């Protein structure tokens, strides 16, 4: 949402719970929020003063966070149904950062830019030091 906040007219991102599905949206309907979705919105002042729709933005950055305990030398990758995420090929996924990882908060994260309107499915995979892949 940080990148969306910087784009005039961008209003939100909709994340479907349970299936790791994300929708980048420019306008909100009255049924946008329900128990199936997590919705990230900009403040009212940010959305009402804009004049350009989110669809005119060239990209919206989405940050993916995953708590997964790993061993030293392991990596976590974001893999998904779109080209930017490797089209389900773990070897083509995006490496996540462990810069904030601690034993009590095993956080892996990565920010990826997508075109507004992009719809995707995604999963996280761990790759251990020997190269074995485990889908999280």
Q: Is 108 exposed, middle or buried (0-12, 13-18, 19+ CB in 10 A)?
A: buried
Q: Are 19 and 121 in contact (CB under 8 A)?
A: yes
pTM of the model: 0.59
**Tens-digit pLDDT profile for residues 82-94:** 999 999 999 999 9
CATH top-level class for 61-135? mainly beta
C-alpha distances out from residue 13 to 63, 100, 119, 123, Å? 11, 24, 11, 18
pLDDT tens digits, one per residue of 13-37: 655 555 555 555 565 554 444 444 4
Decide if 131 contacts 31 (C-beta within 8 A).
Answer: no
pLDDT of residue 52: 38
Q: Which residue has the tokens 């990882």?
A: 101
pLDDT at 44 over 50: no
Domain ranges of the chain: 2-59, 61-135
């Amino acid at each position: 949402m940080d990148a969306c906040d910087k784009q005039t007219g961008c209003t939100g991102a909709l994340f479907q719970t349970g299936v790791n599905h994300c929708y980048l949206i420019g306008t909100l309907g009255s049924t946008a929020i329900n128990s199936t979705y997590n919705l990230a919105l900009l403040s009212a002042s940010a959305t009402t003063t804009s004049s350009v729709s989110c669809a005119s933005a060239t990209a919206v950055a989405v940050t993916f966070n995953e708590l997964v305990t790993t061993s030293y030398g392991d990596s976590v990758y974001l893999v998904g149904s779109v080209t930017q995420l490797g089209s389900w090929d773990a070897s083509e996924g995006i490496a996540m950062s462990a810069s904030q990882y601690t034993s009590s908060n095993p956080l892996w994260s990565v920010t990826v830019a997508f075109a507004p309107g992009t719809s995707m499915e995604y999963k996280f995979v761990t790759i251990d030091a020997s190269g074995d892949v485990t889908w999280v």
